[in-house]
Amino acid sequence: MHKIKALLFDLDGTVYRGSDAIPGAAEFIRNLKIPYLFVTNRGNRTPEAVAEQLSAMGLSCSADQVLTSAQAAAANLMPGTSAYCIGESGLTTALEGRGVRIIGEGLEIPDAVVVSYDRGFSYEKITQALRFINAGARFIATNDDRVITIEDGLVPEAGPLVAAIAEATGRVPEILGKPNAPIMEIALERLGVLAENTAIVGDNLLTDILAGHNSSMKSVLILTGVSTREEAALADYKPTWIVENYDDLAQTLPL
């Protein structure tokens, strides 16, 4: 098997759980001799905030080593367009950095409604999104993950929010994060590598592992987060490798 020349790492459940580092992650990544990038479907935090957290965990990391689903969504909108956002600072910062104008509630119809992880989600936000989408705005979602793993267990991610708006509008969203192509294409371009020489390491079969499959990459399911070995055995798209932890990963990957 050809050696892996670049790695993509998921974050939640793979490198950390909330504010807690997963054992062995920092040491493994610090010792890598190949390019790598952190690719996360969490759209509520800026790359700068993520890099600061990773640095505090012992990983020297800059913002350009972090790619979020919010950045993927922003890249899909043209500068000068407008958006109504259901999300947090990571989303609005990415959109504004792209030159997208953020609008609030009112009579102006935006070019797009962009939905992401939002701990302030409300009935009023669903209502506003429904009206804008029915009036012709694009329906964009950063991702549709059902849950994420934090310090004390699982919590809902963006998926339930996106599903509520999809149900209200009867529209299918454009999803820009994993497992879909846009975020993976940005990752490969940023690293300057080919998919066939790259592997993605993640804890979620439905996002990370499927993203690898959809992008013709190798994939590693690490059993530190959402998905289990039993679920992997039943999955339509199976990972190239399954590892228990980072010690196992170091012994398994052909680097």
Which of 222, 250, 225, 73 has the alpha carbon at shortest distance from 151?
Answer: 225
Q: Which residues pair with 221 in a beta bridge?
A: 202, 242
Q: 3-state DSSP call for residue 71?
A: helix
pLDDT of residue 1: 54
Catalytic residues, by residue number, are: 10, 12
pLDDT confidence band for 150 (50 / 70 / 90): confident
Neighbouring-strand partners of residue 141: 115, 175
- Which tens digits make up the pLDDT trace of 110-131? 999 999 999 999 999 999 999 9
Its pTM stands at 0.94
What does the H/E/C string look like for 129-162? HHHHHHCCCEEEECCCCCEEEECCEEEECCHHHH
Burial class of residue 18, CB neighbours in 10 A (0-12, 13-18, 19+): middle
CA 135 vs CA 84, 106, 111, 129, 174: distances in Å: 13, 13, 10, 10, 17
Give per-residue pLDDT as tens, 85-95.
999 999 999 99
- Residue 244 pLDDT exceeds 80: yes
Distance (Å, rounded) from C-alpha 66 to C-alpha 86?
22
Are the CB atoms for 223 and 29 separated by under 8 Å? no
